[in-house]
C-alpha cells in the first residue's frame, strides 16, 4: 500500500489536502453540537457563516475552496481573500469535526492564510498595518514602546525576581490597563510574587493568525529566550490570545511540544482557581449581580497543548506513527466557572452556548481590524444570548472579547456591563 509523507506544517497547504478532501458537509462545524443543541434559537457556532450565509463562509465551504486551491482550480481574488480572512479562527469548527471525523479543519484554515501570504496576496491591508506597527514599536497599535508599562500604578508590587512572570500583552498594556492592574492586584492580594519582562514585546498573535509565520516565529523565539533568561518557571497571561500563543503557537512555530517549553504557561483563570483551592484567593466582598461567563476561544477549545507530528498516511487514510488529535478537551472550562461561582452574592448564570460550543465574540485573530462588521455582528449575536438569560454582567477572560462586547454595548445602549475576569475577581476582594 503506497503511503504519503505528511506533517502538520501549515506552510504547505498540501499537508491538509486529505483533510480538505474528506469533509462530508455534515455541517457539524456550523451548528452547536447536537447533544447540547438548545433548539432553534442560539443554535449556531460559526461567526463567519452567521455573518455571511453563503456556504463558502462555513468551514465546509472553505474546505472545498482550499481543496480547489491545492488542485489549482481557483485563482486568487478579493472574494477569496475575504472568505479566508473574514474568520476569527475560533476553533468551533475544528472541535466539532473532531467529534466525528478528526479532520484538521483549524490547521487547514491557517494553512490557506499562510499560502495567501506566501503567494504575496495576503494578509489584508489592516493586518499589514499591524505588522508594520509591531515591527516599528513592538505592539499592535503603533503606540510608543516606551509607554508599555504605563499601566503600572505605585500601589502595585512587582518583584524583581519571581517564579511567576506576568506577560501583560499589548492590549492590557495599552488599551486595557484596567485588566493588567486588576491582575497585578489579585496577585498582590493573594501573596503571589510576580515579575514582568524587562522589555516586553507583542506576542505575535495577529501575525501568526493571518499567516505571517516568519515574523511570528521571530517574536516567539525572542519572547521565549527572554523568559528563559529570567528563570521564571511559569508565564502568566491575562489575555486569552496571548495564552494560546505561548502555550500552543510558539511550540507550533518552533516545531517543539508544549511540554518542551522550559516553563509552564498559565492563564489567570486557572491560576485564580488554583489560588482559590489553596485558600489564598479570598473573595469576601459580595458582588450582587447576575453574571454570566463567555468562554474566550483561545483559553478554551483552542488551548489543547501542541505536539509536533510527522509521519505517513496510508491505507484508508490511517496515519502512523499515532497522532494525538487536539480536540479542545483541555480547555479552561471548569476553572473560571469555579472561581466566579465562589464569589459571594453572585448569581452565576450560564449562557446557552458554553465551553466548546460557545459562540465566539468575532474579534480575535485579526478579524476585528480587517472585518469590523463581522466582529460587531458576532458580538451583537452573542449579546442577544446574554439578554436571553437575563444576565447583568458579561465576563470574559480576554481583552479582545471585552473590547468587542463593550463597543457593541456602547453603540446599542445595552444595559449589560462587560467586565474582564480579572476585574470581577478584584471587585470581590476586600479593599
Partner 1 sequence: MAILKEAYKALETIVGARYLSDDPVICQGYQSGPAGYENGTGYERVMTKLPGAVILPRSTEEVQKIVKICVRYTIPYVPYSTGFYGPRSHCHVGNELLIDLKRLNDFEFDEKHWYATVGSGVVYSQFQEECLRRGGYVVIGGGGAQASVIANLIGDGWSPLSHRIGLPHRRILGTEMVLPDGEILRMGSLAVGDDWYWGDGIGPDLRGLLRGYTGLRGCLGIVTRMAVKVLPFQPERLQPTGISPNTALALPEKRVKWINYIMPSKEAQVKAMYEICKAEIGGAVTKVPLFWRAIAKAECKEEFWDLWLKETPETVANFHIVRVLLIGFTSEEQLTYDENVLSDIMMELGGQPRRTKPSDESWIKNADSAGMWLMCGSYVSVDYVIETLKQATEHGPVYAELKKKYTPPLMPDHGDPGWFQTFELGYQGYSEFLIYWDQDEDTTGVDHFYLETSKMNIDHRFYTALIGPHQPLYLTGPKYGPNYHEWMLKIKNEFDPTWTCHPPVPFAHDEFVERAPWMHELKTWESPKKSIYPKWLEKQLAAEAREFRESLQERK
The per-residue b/e assignment along 87-121, b for 16 or more CB within 10 angstroms, e otherwise, is: bbbbbbbbbbbbeeeebbbbbbbbbbbbbbbeeee
Give min distance, CB of 103 to partner 1, in A: 9
Under rule CB under 8 A, residue 53 binds partner 1: yes
Please give the backbone phi and psi of residue 16, each rounded to the nearest 5 degrees, phi first: -110, 10
Looking at 21-29, 242-250, 287-295, 381-389, which segment touches partner 1 (CB under 8 A)?
21-29
Nearer to partner 1, 60 or 400 (CB): 60
Nearer to partner 1, 171 or 357 (CB): 357
Nearer to partner 1, 143 or 329 (CB): 329
Nearer to partner 1, 62 or 217 (CB): 62
Under rule CB under 8 A, residue 381 binds partner 1: no
Under rule CB under 8 A, residue 61 binds partner 1: yes
HSE toward the beta carbon, residue 237, CA cutoff 13 A: 26
SS3 label, residue 166: strand
Among residues 6, 80, 107, 111, the one that binds partner 1 under rule CB under 8 A:
80
Under rule CB under 8 A, residue 122 binds partner 1: no
Distance CA 34, CA 271 (A): 32
Under rule CB under 8 A, residue 309 binds partner 1: no
293: β partners: 395
Under rule CB under 8 A, residue 382 binds partner 1: no
Residues with Cβ within 8 Å of residue 427, at least 6 apart in sequence: 285, 287, 419
HSE toward the beta carbon, residue 155, CA cutoff 13 A: 8
Give min distance, CB of 301 to partner 1, in A: 8
Nearer to partner 1, 22 or 417 (CB): 22
Under rule CB under 8 A, residue 5 binds partner 1: no
Under rule CB under 8 A, residue 57 binds partner 1: yes
Nearer to partner 1, 289 or 352 (CB): 352
HSE toward the beta carbon, residue 255, CA cutoff 13 A: 7
Nearer to partner 1, 288 or 320 (CB): 320
Among residues 7, 11, 12, 21, the one that binds partner 1 under rule CB under 8 A:
21
Give CA 279 to chain center in angstroms: 29
Give min distance, CB of 84 to partner 1, in A: 9
Under rule CB under 8 A, residue 136 binds partner 1: no
Give min distance, CB of 424 to partner 1, in A: 24
Please give the backbone phi and psi of residue 300, each rounded to the nearest 5 degrees, phi first: -115, -100
* CA distance readout (Å), 394 to 145, 304, 404: 31, 25, 12
Binding mask 338-367 for partner 1 (x = CB under 8 A): -----------------xxx----------
Among residues 5, 34, 155, 160, the one that binds partner 1 under rule CB under 8 A:
34
Give min distance, CB of 247 to partner 1, in A: 18
Among residues 325, 349, 407, 417, the one that binds partner 1 under rule CB under 8 A:
325
Strand order, beta sheet including 4-7:
4-7, 310-313, 319-320
Under rule CB under 8 A, residue 23 binds partner 1: yes
Distance CA 76, CA 121 (A): 8
Under rule CB under 8 A, residue 317 binds partner 1: yes
**# binding residues, partner 1 (CB under 8 A):** 62
SS3 label, residue 388: helix
User: Shortest CA distance to 296 belongs to which of 237, 222, 231?
Assistant: 237
Binding mask 91-110 for partner 1 (x = CB under 8 A): ----xx-xxxxx--------
* CA distance readout (Å), 331 to 88, 243, 325: 18, 11, 14
Where in 243-262 is the site for partner 1 (CB under 8 A)? none
DSSP secondary structure string for all residues of 274-321: HHHHHT-----S---SEEEEE--GGGTTT-SPP---EEEE-GGG-EES
Under rule CB under 8 A, residue 35 binds partner 1: yes
Number of neighbouring beta carbons within 10 Å of residue 15: 22
**Binding footprint of partner 1 on the chain (CB under 8 A):** 21-28, 30-40, 43, 53-58, 60-62, 64-65, 67-68, 73-74, 77, 79-80, 83, 95-96, 98-102, 315-320, 322-323, 325, 327-329, 333, 355-357
Amino acid at each position: 500500500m503506497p503511503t504519503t509523507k505528511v506533517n502538520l506544517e501549515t506552510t504547505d497547504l498540501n499537508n491538509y489536502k486529505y483533510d480538505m478532501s474528506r469533509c462530508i458537509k455534515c455541517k457539524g462545524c456550523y451548528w452547536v453540537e447536537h447533544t447540547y443543541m438548545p433548539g432553534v434559537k442560539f443554535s449556531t457556532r460559526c461567526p463567519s457563516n452567521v455573518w455571511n450565509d453563503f456556504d463558502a463562509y462555513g468551514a465546509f465551504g472553505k474546505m472545498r475552496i482550499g481543496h480547489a486551491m491545492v488542485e489549482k482550480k481557483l485563482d486568487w481574488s478579493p472574494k477569496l481573500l475575504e472568505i479566508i480572512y473574514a474568520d476569527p479562527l475560533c476553533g468551533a469548527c475544528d472541535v466539532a469535526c473532531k467529534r466525528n471525523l478528526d479532520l484538521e479543519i483549524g490547521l487547514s484554515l491557517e494553512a490557506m492564510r499562510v499560502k495567501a501570504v506566501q503567494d504575496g496576496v495576503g494578509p489584508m491591508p489592516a493586518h499589514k498595518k499591524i505588522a508594520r506597527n509591531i515591527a516599528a514599536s513592538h505592539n499592535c497599535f503603533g503606540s510608543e514602546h516606551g509607554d508599555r508599562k504605563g499601566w503600572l500604578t505605585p500601589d502595585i508590587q512587582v518583584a524583581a525576581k519571581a517564579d511567576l512572570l506576568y506577560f501583560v500583552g499589548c492590549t492590557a498594556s495599552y488599551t486595557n490597563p484596567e485588566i493588567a492592574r486588576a491582575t497585578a492586584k489579585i496577585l498582590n492580594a493573594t501573596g503571589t510574587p510576580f515579575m514582568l519582562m524587562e522589555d516586553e514585546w507583542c506576542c505575535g498573535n495577529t501575525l501568526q493568525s493571518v499567516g505571517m509565520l516568519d515574523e511570528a516565529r521571530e517574536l516567539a523565539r525572542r519572547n521565549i529566550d527572554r523568559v528563559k533568561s529570567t528563570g521564571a518557571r511559569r508565564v502568566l497571561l491575562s489575555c486569552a490570545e496571548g495564552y494560546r500563543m505561548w502555550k500552543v503557537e510558539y511550540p507550533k512555530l518552533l516545531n517543539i511540544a508544549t511540554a518542551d517549553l522550559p516553563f509552564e504557561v498559565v492563564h489567570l483563570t486557572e491560576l485564580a482557581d488554583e489560588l482559590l483551592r489553596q485558600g489564598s484567593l479570598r473573595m469576601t466582598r459580595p458582588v450582587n449581580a447576575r453574571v454570566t461567563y463567555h468562554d474566550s476561544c483561545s483559553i478554551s477549545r483552542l488551548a489543547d497543548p501542541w505536539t509536533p507530528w510527522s509521519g505517513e498516511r496510508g491505507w484508508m487514510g490511517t496515519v502512523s506513527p499515532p497522532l494525538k488529535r487536539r480536540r479542545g478537551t483541555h480547555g479552561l472550562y471548569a476553572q473560571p466557572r469555579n472561581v466566579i461561582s465562589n464569589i459571594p452574592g453572585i448569581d452565576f448564570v450560564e449562557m446557552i452556548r458554553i465551553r466548546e460550543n460557545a459562540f465566539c465574540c468575532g474579534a480575535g485573530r485579526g478579524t476585528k481590524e480587517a472585518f469590523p462588521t463581522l466582529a460587531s455582528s458576532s458580538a451583537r449575536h452573542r449579546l442577544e444570548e446574554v439578554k436571553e438569560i437575563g444576565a447583568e454582567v458579561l465576563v470574559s477572560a480576554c481583552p479582545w472579547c471585552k473590547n468587542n462586547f463593550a463597543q457593541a454595548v456602547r453603540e446599542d445602549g445595552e444595559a449589560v456591563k462587560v467586565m474582564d475576569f480579572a476585574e470581577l475577581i478584584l471587585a470581590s476582594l476586600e479593599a
